[in-house]
Structure 1
C-alpha cells in the first residue's frame, strides 16, 4: 500500500510539472521561470493554490485573483499521470522496466496534449525521448539493443518522412509534420518494431474515424501525434496481448 501511495503522489507532482511543460514548451517559453501564473491576469500562483487537483477543487476552477476560469486540462493531466504510473507499477512491478515505462508515459501524455492543443510536437520532448529510448534499449540488451533501437528509430522516422513526401506529391501540400516523424522515431526506440507498427495502425484507424466524424465541421487538420501517443499508451500495457491475440488467428 505504501509504494502504491508513493507512486500516486509522485504522479500528481509530475502531472503538475507536466502541465507547465504543456503550457510553455509549444510557445518556446522557459519551464523554469517565471513561476506559475494565471494566463489571464498574469498573477503568480500562490504555493497553496498550486496543489495538484486539490487547489482546482478548492478554487472551483477559477483564478483566485481575477476569477477567470481554469481549464479542465490541468486537473485532468494531474489525474491521468498518477493513474498511468500506478498502472506501470501494477503491470511491471518494482523493476527498471516500470520506471522506464513511467518516463515514456510522461513523454507521451505531454506530447498528446500539446499536439491536441497546438498541433505542435516540441523537440524538447521528442529528441530527448529518442535518446532515452535508445539508452533504455542499451541497458536492456547491451550494444545489440543499442544498435537495434537506433535502427528502428531511423526506420520509423523515415516511414513518416516517406508518407509525407508522397502526400505532398499527390496533393500539393503538407500532410504531416516532421514532428510526427520524430515522435514515431521516439516510440520505435522505446517499443521496438512490432509494437510501434501496432501503435501506428491504431493511430491511423482512430484518426480516420475521428476525421470522418468531423467532416461536417470542415476541419481538415488532425493531430496525428496525439493519436500516436494515445495508441502507444495502449500498447505499453496491452500491446503484446493484442499482438498475440491477432497472431492466434494464424495458428
Structure 2
C-alpha cells in the first residue's frame, strides 16, 4: 500500500515537472515560428522572468510550490506570473497520474501520456495564437502509427493510415474550398494536419465521430461566447482544442 501511494505520488510529481517544461514550450515555440527564428534556443535557453528578464534561480522553478510561495509574482521584480503556468503544471500532473491509474497496460499508459501532452501543448497554443505547429503534429502522426502497431492489429493500422490520408485530404480540400469561395480562411491547414494526427491514433471510424462531436461542441461554445459578447463572430475561432479534447476522451473509451 505504501509503495503504491509512493509510486502514484512520483507519477504526479513527474507530471508537474513535465508541465513546467510544456509551459516553456507553449511560451517560446509560437513566437519562434511567427518570427521565423530557430527553435533550438527553446530547449537550451535558461528560464527568465518575462518582464525583468532575470535568470530564474532553482527555487523559482519548482513546479506549483514556487508559484504558491511567491504568490504568483516574480521574486525579483514582483511582476505578475500568468496563472496559466500553474494550470498547465496541474493538468500535466493529473494527466500523468490519471493515465497511470486508468491503464493497466504500461505501454498504453505511456502512449496516452504522449498524446495527452502533445494535445495539451497544441490546444493552448491554438487558443492563444491560432497556430498548430507542424513540429508537433507531424511527428505525432508517426507516433500514432507506432502506437497502433504495438497495441493493435493490422486492420487497426490500415484504418489509421487511411484516416491520416483521408482526414488530411478532405480537411485541406474544405479549407481551400472555403478560402476560394469566401475569400477568407475557414478550416486552417494546421487543423487538417491535426485531424490527420488524430486519425493516426484513432482510425477512420472513430475519427469521423470525433470530427462530428468536436464540430458540434465548437459550434455550441462559439454561439455561447458570441451571445455573451466575448467573441466576434467574424474573428477566427480555434477548432484545435475541441478536436484534441474529444479525441482524448474517445481514446480513453477505446482503451480502458
- Deviation string 1:97-150 (CA, Å, 9 cap, x unpaired) is 111111100000110111011111111211111111111112234665544422
Task: Kindly indicate whether residue 23 of structure 2 is the aligned counterpart of residue 14 of structure 1.
Answer: no
CA deviation after TM superposition for structure 1 residue 22, in Å: 0.6
Counterparts of 2:205 and 2:20, CA distance in 1? 33
Under a length normalisation based on structure 1, what TM-score does the superposition of the two structures give? Answer: 0.89
Q: Which moves more between the two structures, 215-224 or 100-109?
A: 215-224
The alignment's C-alpha RMSD in Å is 1.9
**Match of residue 25 from structure 1:** 29
Q: Which moves more between the two structures, 214-223 or 39-48?
A: 214-223
* 1:37-56 equivalence runs, <5 A: 37-56=48-67
CA deviation after TM superposition for structure 1 residue 196, in Å: 2.1
* 1:19-168 equivalence runs, <5 A: 19-28=23-32, 29=39, 30-141=41-152, 145-168=156-179
Under a length normalisation based on structure 2, what TM-score does the superposition of the two structures give? Answer: 0.87
**Match of residue 222 from structure 1:** 237
Counterparts of 1:3 and 1:194, CA distance in 2? 36
SS in 2 for 1:64: coil
Unaligned 5+ segments in structure 1 are 242-251
Q: 2:252 aligns with which of 230, 237, 242?
A: 237
| Dislocated runs of 4+, deviation >3 Å | 141-148, 238-241
Contact 2:149 2:157 in 1 (8 A): yes
